[in-house]
Amino acid sequence: MKIENLFFILAITLVIFSCKKDDNSVETFDEAAQALLDDETLIDYLQTHYLNDDGGIWTIKNGETPLIDRVQVQNGIVKNDISYKLYYLTQQEGVTDSPYRSDSVLTTYTGMLLDSTVFDSRSTLTWFSLTGVIDGWSYGFTNFKGGNKVLNEDESFYYENQGKGMLFIPSGLAYGNFGQSFIPANSPLVFQITLNAVNQSDDDHDGVLNFLEDVVIIDGNVKNDDTDGDLIPNYLDADDDGDGILTKDEDANGDGNPANDDTDNDGIPDYLDTDKI
């Protein structure tokens, strides 16, 4: 089975729903059992397929080197108290920065099911925020680095030495039991990706980069950090501590970075400190 070389994007996280039986009882979808099944399915796929010289994935027929011998495993991914494994294959690491899970990436990609059905593809350079895509992307892209931007005399540009590889994603880190129009529920996915550039994002434009706003529950996930409890995560909150002073204005030394200002020397930067005196 051969796949093509560029992949499209996903921007939904796992949605859990219940199926109602005729006897009015509710059957809850078993995410943990599906996670185990997905891992078995992905391992079987990696053991029975290989990557040819053109970047296509084929079924092994003549003793070719299986993907399982070339991939690495990203462990320690926990979602809804369930542990997941994400497999990735590095064809080219890249040469600049690796993104945080809260950064933006400039990429081209192709996505397919395990039966080689391509469900999406994008060959033009496109920026995506890793806070707005499936978890398989937000974790997977951190294993690669961006490339170098090369300017032509006519001011056009291209990238070289980019990060290139493949992500093998369990359904729980993709669309889960919800599925999509061209993606059946509980489908593990394969993406071939090229990481051209990385932007360290500041989504609320407060002078504090997204990844530095992971200060309440320090786990790499900026979506669960809400210092003032206003239900707006810090990385989207213009006033992180809710004291009525915008974070960008709590920059006492005027260097444009509120994270290094601590007026009362209590170890808490002013933009997170409601008692600065």
Comparing 17-21, 87-91, 266-270, the range with the smallest average pLDDT is 17-21
The model's pTM: 0.86
pLDDT at 196: 98
CB 226 within 8 Å of CB 192: no
- Please, how many CA atoms are within 13 Å of residue 33, restricted to the half-sphere of its CB? 4
Q: Is 255 exposed, middle or buried (0-12, 13-18, 19+ CB in 10 A)?
A: exposed
- Given 3.10.50.40, 1.10.287.610, 3.40.630.30, 3.40.50.620, which CATH number is that of 18-199? 3.10.50.40
> Could you tell me the residue ranges of all domains in the chain?
18-199, 202-277
pLDDT digits (tens, 9 = 90+) for 44-88: 999 999 999 888 999 999 999 999 999 999 999 999 999 999 999
**Measured in whole angstroms, how far is the alpha carbon of residue 168 from the centre of its chain?**
13
- The DSSP output letter for 47 is H
pLDDT digits (tens, 9 = 90+) for 201-258: 999 999 999 999 999 999 999 999 999 999 999 999 999 999 999 999 999 999 999 9
Q: Average pLDDT of the chain?
A: 90
- What's the pLDDT band for 275 if we cut at 50, 70, 90? confident
